[in-house]
Structures are given as structure tokens and as C-alpha cells.
């Protein structure tokens, strides 16, 4: 292998199923699907299978709505403190 190929391989970040299962979004999907957060479930999720994967769109929509609401609240608060 050439040095360039070795450098490219070093840049790749490999996330294990264990590490993936610690993520907030995956945890929210498992909670919504009422399944345990396990490395097996993380493996299924990454292969686009399983109960948690089926509810991902619903969870993403709920999180997006919550983010929009938080942004609106932040704007209201910043408006209150503009003159001070």
C-alpha cells in the first residue's frame, strides 16, 4: 500500500454497535418502540431492520418539532433582553 492509501484508511472512523447504542437518537427510537437498548438492536437498526428502525421517522419528527419550539422560546427570551 502506498502512503496515501494508508492515510485514507486512518481517516475512516469505525463506530461499533456498542458505541452506536449509546446515542441519543437511537435510544429515543428504542424507547418509542418499547425495546431494550442493546448492541443487537443497534445492529438491526444500522441494517435498517427491527422495531426501533420502524419508528425512526416518528421520533425524528418529534425531535424536530421540539427543536423548533426551543428555537422560538430562545427568540422570545432574547427579545426581552435586547434593551438591557
Q: What is the DSSP string of 12-35?
A: --PPPHHHHTT-HHHHHHHHHHT-
Looking at the predicted structure, is the pLDDT value of residue 9 above 80?
Answer: no
Higher pLDDT among residues 4 and 54, named by residue: 54
Say if residues 8 and 35 touch (Cβ distance below 8 Å): no
Q: Is the pLDDT of residue 8 over 70?
A: no
Would you state the pLDDT for residue 68?
A: 85
Instruction: Please report, for the chain, the start and end positions of each structural domain, with discontinuous segments joined by +.
Output: 17-80
pTM: 0.66
Amino acid at each position: 500500500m502506498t502512503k496515501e492509501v494508508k492515510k485514507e484508511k486512518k481517516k475512516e472512523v469505525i463506530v461499533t454497535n456498542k458505541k452506536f447504542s449509546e446515542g441519543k437518537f437511537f435510544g429515543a427510537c428504542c424507547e418509542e418502540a418499547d425495546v431494550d437498548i442493546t448492541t443487537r438492536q443497534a445492529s438491526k437498526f444500522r441494517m435498517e431492520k427491527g422495531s426501533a428502525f420502524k419508528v425512526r421517522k416518528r421520533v425524528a419528527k418529534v425531535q424536530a418539532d421540539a427543536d423548533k419550539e426551543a428555537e422560538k422560546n430562545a427568540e422570545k427570551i432574547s427579545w426581552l433582553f435586547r434593551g438591557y
